[in-house]
Structure 1
Amino acid sequence: MARSLSMSLACVMLAFSVAVVMVGSVESSRFDELFQPRWAMDHFTYEGELLKMKLDNYSGAGFSSKSKYLFGKVNIQIKLVEGDSAGTVTAFYMSSDGAYHNEFDFEFLGNTTGEPYLVQTNVYVNGVGNREQRLNLWFDPTKDFHSYSIFWNQRQVVFLVDGTPIRVHSNLEHRGIPFPKDQAMGVFSSIWNADDWATQGGRVKTNWTNAPFVATYTGFEIDACECPVTVADADNARRCSSGGQKRYWWDEPTMAELSVHQSHQLKWVRAKHLVYDYCTDTARFPVIPVECEHHRH
């Protein structure tokens, strides 16, 4: 099983690293080239290629990308908080600005020692979220670095863990459902206290005697269309889409949907590791959200 999963991950990583001519895209792997501390700079520690952010009972911390992007792929390798991390959240996400913003979230919900970490994903479109899914991971995310990625084009948003797709949000505009394709988004990460909801619905509180809680980062990669702040959203949307002599790798036909192999991986994740899906939460949604009818995988 381990060997076949390893081979599967390698195939998916290869599929998502195929590139053709990249016009106007940026690709780098250094934190200081792509990102900057956003708050609590005294809670950052740099150790060579590693960045550590800590949460204590004074403050959390966060960083943001220096630029905004429209379509492409962002990837960060994270080693999550070890030990008793109940009440903490380590977030990696993309977001645009304003009340009607778009947002793609990874939120890693802390745990009591020995319990599995839960990963919550969410998608906001035009300021509307409430699309949470939660899953447990098939490895211990505190023992080593693992890659967390967001791939995004005009057809789909794909959340990946070590190259394995764990969630797909497809473009269903032909069904009258809005899709996030016209707002440039920054890339963010933060660590913060959320013991009012993060662990067992807020029943388990943060144990500050275990502070500081430290998340460690490396492998910063953004391979996406960079959007100048002076350019209007509509112009960025045109500039970041293939046409004429431009050819972006994220617009290749193979990127329009998951491959058969990736679809099988997603089904495996959902069957073995999904523990909450808003689409099946009839208490919150007596009427099933319209996109759920089309996002069944």
Structure 2
Amino acid sequence: MCSENGAGPERDELDFEFLGNRTGQPYLIQTNVYKNGAGNREMRHMLWFDPTEDYHSYSILWNNHQIVVPIRVFKNNGDDKNDFFPNEKPMYLFSSIWNADDWATRGGLEKTDWKKAPFVSSYKDFSVEGCQWEDPYPACVSTTTKNWWDQYEAWHLSDSQKMDYAWVQRNLVIYDYCKDYERFPKLPGECSLSPWD
């Protein structure tokens, strides 16, 4: 998802990327969060299923309190611990296939086999529940509880969602920027936020 200026230098963006795999190995997904053109909030997960076998449903809940992709939670607690939360620009949805074989699949060890082109992704049953951006400030980031995603129940994970999320964290995470002390000797502020709150 990109800002009103498209994929310009000041974009806000959520990435949900299939990184590919070596034949017979699990597929990987990388998620990333950008605000004003800055990212570096990557997480990588192993998938417990083969996404190429059939259509699968993927959902994103994005309100002013949290971004939830079923395998990741990115919290906004409304103070200076997370000044990185993207909630100030209108958003669009983009989908593409792009060549990232210099870094994505096994750190760039697996190269794209161009003999298998053309590469195709297809979608069905796409739906969006959202609000229309209105200048100067969008009503959809208020806490009016007008929409289901802006009611208290959507601000936090339920108890069963917390259990599922804990299982994902224990079993499927292979990279989390909040645990990369070599890259971030001082971790970004949001790393101290708990997805359980």
TM-score by length of 2: 0.89
More relative contact order, 1 or 2 (CA 8 Å, 6+ apart):
1
1:130 and 2:36 are equivalent in the alignment: no
> Residue 241 of structure 1 aligns with which residue?
142
Distance 2:132 2:9 in 1: 22
Structure 2 residue runs without a partner (length 5+): none
**AA partner of residue 291 (structure 1):** E
> Residue 10 of structure 2 aligns with which residue?
100
Distance 2:167 2:43 in 1: 15
Describe how 1:24-63 pairs up with structure 2 within 5 A.
none
Give the conservation status (yes or no) of the 8 Å contact 2:81–2:189. no
What's the CA shift for 1:118?
Answer: 0.4
Post-superposition Cα deviations, 1:78-115, rounded to whole Å, max 9, x if no partner, equal xxxxxxxxxxxxxxxx1213433211110001122111
> Residue 53 of structure 2 aligns with which residue?
143
**AA partner of residue 177 (structure 1):** N
Judged with a 3 Å threshold, the aligned counterparts in structure 2 of structure 1 residues 226 and 295 are, in CA distance, closer, same or farther, namely same
> Residue 177 of structure 1 aligns with which residue?
82
Distance 2:19 2:81 in 1: 33
The structure with the greater share of residues assigned to strand is 1
Judged with a 3 Å threshold, the aligned counterparts in structure 2 of structure 1 residues 286 and 296 are, in CA distance, closer, same or farther, namely farther
TM-score by length of 1: 0.61
Judged with a 3 Å threshold, the aligned counterparts in structure 2 of structure 1 residues 154 and 174 are, in CA distance, closer, same or farther, namely same
SS class of match (1:185): coil
Distance 1:181 1:211 in 2: 38
Give the conservation status (yes or no) of the 8 Å contact 1:225–1:240. no
> Residue 174 of structure 2 aligns with which residue?
275
**Matched residue count:** 192
Structure 1 residue runs without a partner (length 5+): 1-93, 160-164
SS class of match (2:82): coil
Post-superposition Cα deviations, 1:11-38, rounded to whole Å, max 9, x if no partner, equal xxxxxxxxxxxxxxxxxxxxxxxxxxxx
> Residue 263 of structure 1 aligns with which residue?
162
What's the CA shift for 1:211?
Answer: 1.9
Give the conservation status (yes or no) of the 8 Å contact 2:81–2:190. no
Query: Which portions of structure 1, spanning 4 or more consecutive aligned residues, are displaced by more than 3 angstroms?
Result: 239-243
Give the conservation status (yes or no) of the 8 Å contact 1:119–1:136. yes
Give the conservation status (yes or no) of the 8 Å contact 1:241–1:248. no
Q: Tell me the percent identity.
A: 50
**AA partner of residue 175 (structure 1):** D
1:200 and 2:106 are equivalent in the alignment: yes
Judged with a 3 Å threshold, the aligned counterparts in structure 2 of structure 1 residues 267 and 142 are, in CA distance, closer, same or farther, namely same
Distance 2:171 2:14 in 1: 23
**AA partner of residue 35 (structure 2):** V
Give the CA RMSD over aligned residues.
1.8
